[in-house]
């Protein structure tokens, strides 16, 4: 199923939000797929990107990155013709869409396998041809580090869940909410343009009159697990000889334990994996 809910034209391009749905384990959830298109000069090669956001993020926060990537390609023979941004069903506007189902079935855990099912649903929808060499899939964070050693993650997972639940959840207005986040890590390291998009997209006014988060901290915590990422890592290792895979690791590891950092770098080293990695 696909319905269109809203279009907009901004400095980041023309966006159109589609509603899709999938069923898994007898439970049907909906999610938004945002289609971002641009006015480009003709180029030899036009790319279509699919972007899957990180935990506690939402699609709008990636608009500046997309603008930056398009700027890098100015004057080249390659252009970005369109970007599809897929929202996890318990995040942002999709989380609001599924609010009743989440409360009924997913209060404590929202497995990443459901995000995977949403991605497959989108790829099978006919919106894109995933066999096209000009189609590029991009994923950020969201447990992708689970390619490494399981025992390292146990303590990290528990600490992360505990940390999520300590955060404030309601404010009198959006400005107060933003002041709170700007003083907290990791938001205190974010680009001002991304923070401005956060201000416009992640909050909502609740029945109490207070300002709350569209993606509740309980649902952020519910997503933070590595069990299924480990299985995905095994699958990734099985097809890297056939599909080009690029892994980019950040230069700063503000939220990453040293042991985890070292394990990931060893896992992705050119000697151990046929994966293109910038470490």
* Exposure b/e, 51-84, CB count within 10 A at least 16 = b: bbbbbbbbbbbbbbbbeeebeeeeeeeebbebbb
Judge whether 89 lies within some domain. Answer: yes
pLDDT band at 244 (very low <50, low <70, confident <90, very high): confident
pLDDT band at 149 (very low <50, low <70, confident <90, very high): very low
Averaged pLDDT score across all residues of the chain: 81
Judge whether 207 lies within some domain. Answer: no
Where does the chain have alpha helices with state H? 63-72, 92-97, 99-105, 112-123, 150-164, 174-182, 192-201, 217-223, 227-239, 258-267
Residue 230's nearest CA partner among 143, 142, 172, 105 is 143
Question: Would you state the pLDDT for residue 278?
Answer: 42
**3-state class of 263 per DSSP?**
helix
Report the C-alpha gap between 206 and 189 in whole angstroms.
Answer: 28
- Residues 279 and 268: beta-carbon distance below 8 Å: yes
The total number of structural domains that make up the chain:
1
Mean pLDDT value of segment 205-213: 94
Given the DSSP bridges, would you call strands 135-139 and 45-52 parallel, antiparallel or unpaired?
Answer: parallel
**What are the two backbone dihedrals, phi and then psi, of residue 178, each rounded to the nearest 5 degrees?**
-70, -35
Question: Would you state the pLDDT for residue 2?
Answer: 58
Judge whether 82 lies within some domain. Answer: yes
Residue 115's nearest CA partner among 29, 185, 16, 207 is 29
pLDDT band at 10 (very low <50, low <70, confident <90, very high): confident
The secondary structure of 109-168 as a DSSP string is ---HHHHHHHHHHHHTTTSS-TTSTTEEEEE-STTGGGGS-HHHHHHHHHHHHHHHTTS-
* Domain that residue 134 falls in: 2-142
Question: Would you state the pLDDT for residue 279?
Answer: 38
Is the confidence at residue 198, as pLDDT, over 80? yes
Question: Would you state the pLDDT for residue 197?
Answer: 94
Is the confidence at residue 116, as pLDDT, over 60? yes
Mean pLDDT value of segment 204-233: 80
Judge whether 67 lies within some domain. Answer: yes
Work out the number of other CB atoms within 10 angstroms of the CB of residue 138.
Answer: 17
Question: Would you state the pLDDT for residue 259?
Answer: 57
We report the CATH number of the domain holding residue 58 as 3.40.50.1820
CA distances from 210 to 12, 90, 159, 204, 235 (A): 30, 21, 28, 9, 44
Judge whether 62 lies within some domain. Answer: yes
Report, in angstroms and rounded to the nearest whole number, the Rg of the chain calculated over CA atoms. 19
Is the confidence at residue 245, as pLDDT, over 90? no
**3-state class of 82 per DSSP?**
strand
Per residue in 23-45, pLDDT tens? 999 999 999 999 999 987 778 89
Instruction: Look at 99-108, 125-134, 259-268 and tell me which has the smallest mean pLDDT.
Output: 259-268
Judge whether 112 lies within some domain. Answer: yes
Q: Which two tokens stand for residue 177?
A: 């909410």
Q: Which two tokens stand for residue 232?
A: 């995905």
Judge whether 216 lies within some domain. Answer: no
Judge whether 128 lies within some domain. Answer: yes
Higher pLDDT, 199 or 9: 199
Residue 98's nearest CA partner among 113, 115, 83, 82 is 115
Report the C-alpha gap between 190 and 54 in whole angstroms.
Answer: 14
Question: Would you state the pLDDT for residue 23?
Answer: 96
Instruction: Look at 64-68, 138-142, 147-151, 196-200 and tell me which has the smallest mean pLDDT.
Output: 147-151
- Residues 46 and 135: beta-carbon distance below 8 Å: no
Report the C-alpha gap between 216 and 223 in whole angstroms.
Answer: 11
């Amino acid at each position: 199923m696909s319905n269109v809910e809203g279009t907009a034209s901004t400095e980041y391009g023309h966006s159109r939000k589609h509603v899709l749905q999938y069923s898994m384990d007898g439970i049907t959830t909906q999610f938004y797929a945002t289609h971002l298109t641009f006015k480009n000069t003709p180029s030899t090669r036009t790319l279509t990107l699919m972007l899957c956001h990180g935990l506690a993020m939402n699609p709008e926060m990636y608009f500046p990155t997309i603008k930056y990537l398009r700027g890098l390609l100015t004057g080249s023979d390659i252009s970005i013709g369109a970007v599809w941004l897929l929202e996890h069903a318990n995040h942002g506007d999709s989380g609001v869409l599924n609010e009743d189902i989440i409360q009924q079935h997913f209060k404590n855990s929202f497995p990443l396998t459901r995000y995977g099912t949403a991605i497959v649903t989108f790829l099978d929808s006919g919106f894109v041809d995933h066999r096209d060499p000009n189609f590029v899939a991009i994923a950020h964070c969201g447990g992708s580090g689970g390619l490494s050693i399981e025992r390292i993650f146990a303590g990290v997972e528990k600490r992360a869940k505990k940390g999520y639940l300590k955060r404030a959840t309601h404010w009198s207005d959006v400005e107060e909410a933003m002041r709170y986040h700007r003083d907290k890590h990791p938001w205190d390291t974010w680009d001002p343009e991304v923070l401005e998009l956060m201000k416009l997209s992640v909050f909502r006014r609740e029945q109490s009159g207070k300002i709350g988060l569209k993606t509740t901290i309980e649902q952020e915590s519910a997503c933070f697990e590595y069990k299924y990422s480990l299985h995905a890592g095994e699958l990734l290792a099985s097809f890297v000889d056939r599909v080009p895979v690029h892994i980019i690791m950040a230069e700063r590891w503000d939220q990453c334990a040293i042991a985890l950092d070292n394990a990931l770098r060893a896992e992705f080293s050119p000697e151990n994996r046929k994966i293109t990695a910038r470490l």
